[in-house]
Structure 1
Amino acid sequence: MNSLYETDYHQWLGQQREHLIKGQLDQLDVENLIEELELGIKQDFNTLKSHLMILIIHLLKWDYQEKVLQDPWVDDCVKPTWLPSINNPRDKIELHLEENPNVVKRTDEAMAMIYPQAKQKAIDEMNKYARHENQKLNQDSFPVSCPWSFEQLMDKSWPVLKPVKRRK
């Protein structure tokens, strides 16, 4: 016979809550409660990593454009559109950390885990738009480990747009 956990999750959850409130610890579905707690903790961490991935990809692309390519057309026409794609994940990270303070202490771990993949994605995305072969990126185009601290990543005053140069 299927347990309530398998047939009606929300009812099962309410039942487990009532057992806890009433101190009926012997009535708890301990095996499934442990599984749910582990899944919740893992999901909180995975959500943090997902938002950090997006943020780091966009900041790597911005930084490369700023320091290496220095294409005036991109500065004038493209980079202003990138700021929302940088600040949106910051907002999501802030909200996620407020709602899940259990992952705050794991931000550095999350950054270290996702940086190699974020670096590769930034390389792949930037290479789609390289105008010349000498603009193509490789693994040496970015640092081996994330060049920014979590505090720097979350600083909404960075990056800063350069004033648009009007052509005469």
Structure 2
Amino acid sequence: MMDNLYNTDYSLWVQQQKEYLKNRQFDRLDLENLIEEVEDMGKHEPRSMESHLVILLIHLLKYQYQTYVINPNLYESVEFRSWYESMDNARRELRKLLRGSPSLKAKVSNIMLDAYQDAKAEAVKQMNRYIKQEHLKLTGSSFPVDCPWTFDEIMEEDWLPGQPVQAQE
């Protein structure tokens, strides 16, 4: 019955499990599914951190490439305005995550490795939508292999990257 409820009405299953715990009816708990849920809970915050890091890194990469490679003579592209908001939001959410779960700080370097690879691929894809000349299209080697910035650096309020590090050919 509990397994069926878990699969057919998750919300009701959660309420039921909560009541069993509150009433100390431990023998009625759906332990197998509860254990699975607790395991999944431990994965949520690192995933959320990675998601916010990807967004922040995408915009930092696009900002840097557009500012110093594509349009070095322009003061500011109109597109940057929404990017600033997105970067601010990502930084704010990352700070909240770290305040709520300080132990995530120990996982930052590993999470950032994965986030940078995803951000780099997505930045290439997004930038190429607007580059019409085929010979100017970006590739994975348009950006450095590894993230050129530290987590602390990118988390600084209003921080923006300077001249790009030479990408690997």
**Taking structure 2 as the reference length, what is the TM-score of the superposition?**
0.77
Residue 122 (str. 1) matches residue 123 (str. 2)? yes
Whole-angstrom CA distance in 1 between matches of 2:4 and 2:14: 9
Q: 1:134 to 1:73 in 2, by over 3 A?
A: farther
Whole-angstrom CA distance in 1 between matches of 2:160 and 2:65: 12
Map of 1:11 onto structure 2: 15
Aligned AA for 2:150?
Answer: S
Aligned AA for 1:111?
Answer: M
Whole-angstrom CA distance in 1 between matches of 2:150 and 2:20: 41
Map of 1:159 onto structure 2: 160
Aligned AA for 2:31?
Answer: V
CA offset digits 1:78-101 (Å, max 9, x no partner): 434421121111111112222333
Give, in angstroms, the shift of residue 139 of structure 1.
Answer: 1.6
Whole-angstrom CA distance in 2 between matches of 1:76 and 1:3: 54
Give, in angstroms, the shift of residue 144 of structure 1.
Answer: 0.5
Residue 93 (str. 1) matches residue 94 (str. 2)? yes
Moved more, 4-13 or 121-130: 4-13
Whole-angstrom CA distance in 2 between matches of 1:52 and 1:158: 14
Map of 1:110 onto structure 2: 111
Q: 1:15 to 1:78 in 2, by over 3 A?
A: closer
Give, in angstroms, the shift of residue 59 of structure 1.
Answer: 0.5
Moved more, 110-119 or 80-89: 80-89
Whole-angstrom CA distance in 2 between matches of 1:84 and 1:111: 21
Map of 1:57 onto structure 2: 58
Give, in angstroms, the shift of residue 142 of structure 1.
Answer: 0.4
**Taking structure 1 as the reference length, what is the TM-score of the superposition?**
0.77
Give, in angstroms, the shift of residue 158 of structure 1.
Answer: 0.6
Give, in angstroms, the shift of residue 131 of structure 1.
Answer: 5.1
Whole-angstrom CA distance in 1 between matches of 2:32 and 2:110: 28
Q: Would you say the 8 A contact 1:53–1:114 is kept in 2?
A: yes
CA offset digits 1:7-31 (Å, max 9, x no partner): 5223233235326xx5x76665432
**Unpaired stretches in structure 2, ≥5 consecutive residues:** 162-169
Whole-angstrom CA distance in 1 between matches of 2:3 and 2:80: 54
Aligned AA for 2:91?
Answer: R
Whole-angstrom CA distance in 1 between matches of 2:116 and 2:85: 21
Q: How many residues align?
A: 158
Map of 2:166 onto structure 1: none
Identity %: 34
Whole-angstrom CA distance in 1 between matches of 2:4 and 2:22: 14
**Unpaired stretches in structure 1, ≥5 consecutive residues:** 161-168
Whole-angstrom CA distance in 1 between matches of 2:152 and 2:134: 35
CA offset digits 1:10-69 (Å, max 9, x no partner): 3233235326xx5x7666543222111111111222111111111110000011122222
